[in-house]
Structure 1
């Protein structure tokens, strides 16, 4: 019998096309992999509400990794032990104030299943709310009363470098700061003690799958640890150079069915 694999899927720039859809070929390959007994899990920086659609479309029955590993839960099993890490409240408020001083277009603070926004507009409102209203909008350092699970920042284009240089000098012992370098530059800030890799290891252990039988697909900074950890770390053709360098191999781009190309060959779908 063929070995069972755990297949981890980043969303943006990996599983999803630019139109935010899953291509028919990639969906077919993943469904065939499921039929063969392989385990599929989404691993994304997005909140669950903004990834639920794809979880349901692929008819998954597994835990899901959100906020780059700060949240792991099983949407279909209330008894599955949930992981929900957070960034210390005092530091979060300090970071939010610093960002506001530098100049940002928008910020989003996630606290478990609740979120706050500087303003309900732009990329965050279009792609990360899924029609859910924020608990509040406005001055986030005053609104936030609990330790956040994650903080997402969309800087003004002319402030990207200033924000990058400033935040690199602070909080790195507490947080893991990763940039999403797509058409809209987004900084994702999560607790330092968790990554997609730590979350993936937890799921692999739960399913009794060895590290060598983990296949992980990714393209951006927040996929680095996961790609490095997996027995088969696969960089998308559109991945940043840092991900390609640490990956075991490079497949086609997300627009050219990179996931399907790899799985069809390796799993003989």
Structure 2
């Protein structure tokens, strides 16, 4: 069972999981089902969630960082050079700010993000300093803009050598290494575990969840998900404010 975090288990940006959702996830694991947290969050943003639910595994940074909650070890980390992507986005989107993930620590930032945007320790850096490192995850916020404005601005944008997605709740873009998505990570992980994707259930609400929902035997979009996400899902759950994930899980694992 693959579960997105923001907009699925919690309100966006929150670490608060409702009692109903916690209880439902616990019932799932008590039946022997493996629960994988599958999120665009960095590892340091994922650990507070993993501490609250009995997850077997965590796929962070849209698939670029794999973490074992039992051993507390990063078991896989895929990186890319962020410099060319930053240059392309800076030219197209003035007033944008950038941050690259330092796994387990925080971020190096180019420009100032809004309070609460980034997990962990944030350290200001120059473009040359950021471009000189490899990272599993680059994020960009277009300040004082809306998600529709960002989506329209990048609709014809080509960013070779990476995978990228735009958030539907903030003017926020996430870039990760090429051929890295939640779907590709789950496909590889399921093969290692000997689990057929047809036996998997996935729940999510964002554009970065599309490949995950298509991969799973049953892909469920949250009720507040954009139409493009709901369109690829097999079914649509109630919203996160209605504990939609708990309602779906309870169908298969009743109290």
Encode CA deviations 1:120-164: one digit per residue, 9 max, x unaligned.
541xx51432xx323x31433443312221110000234864685
Task: Give, in whole Å, the separation in 1 of the partners of 2:53 and 2:155.
Answer: 37
**Contact 1:97–1:141 under 8 Å retained in 2:** no
Structure 1 counterpart of 2:164, from 172, 177, 182: 177
> Aligned residue for 2:118?
128
**Contact 2:150–2:171 under 8 Å retained in 1:** no
**Contact 1:96–1:141 under 8 Å retained in 2:** no
User: Is it true that 1:200 corresponds to 2:186 in the alignment?
Assistant: yes
User: Is it true that 1:118 corresponds to 2:104 in the alignment?
Assistant: no
User: Is it true that 1:218 corresponds to 2:213 in the alignment?
Assistant: no
3-state SS of 1:29 partner: helix
> Aligned residue for 2:77?
84
3-state SS of 1:108 partner: strand
> Aligned residue for 1:40?
35
**Contact 2:25–2:54 under 8 Å retained in 1:** no
> Aligned residue for 1:3?
none
Runs of 4+ in 1 over 4 A off after TM superposition: none
Aligned length: 251
3-state SS of 2:6 partner: helix
Superposed, which structure 2 residues align to 1:1-269 within 5 Å? 7-17=1-11, 19-60=14-55, 62-77=56-71, 82-87=75-80, 89=81, 92-101=82-91, 102-113=93-104, 115-119=107-111, 121-122=113-114, 125-129=115-119, 132-134=120-122, 136-158=123-145, 161=149, 165-166=153-154, 168-171=156-159, 173-182=160-169, 184-269=170-255
**Contact 1:50–1:127 under 8 Å retained in 2:** no
Task: Give, in whole Å, the separation in 1 of the partners of 2:50 and 2:90.
Answer: 34
Greater helix fraction, Structure 1 or Structure 2: 1
Moved more, 162-171 or 206-215: 162-171
Q: Summarize the Cα distance change of 1:251–1:74 in structure 2 as closer, same or farther, 3 Å threshold.
A: same
Moved more, 216-225 or 63-72: 63-72
**Contact 1:47–1:128 under 8 Å retained in 2:** no
Offset of 1:118 from its aligned partner? 2.1
Higher RCO (C-alpha 8 Å, min separation 6): 1
Q: Summarize the Cα distance change of 1:178–1:165 in structure 2 as closer, same or farther, 3 Å threshold.
A: same
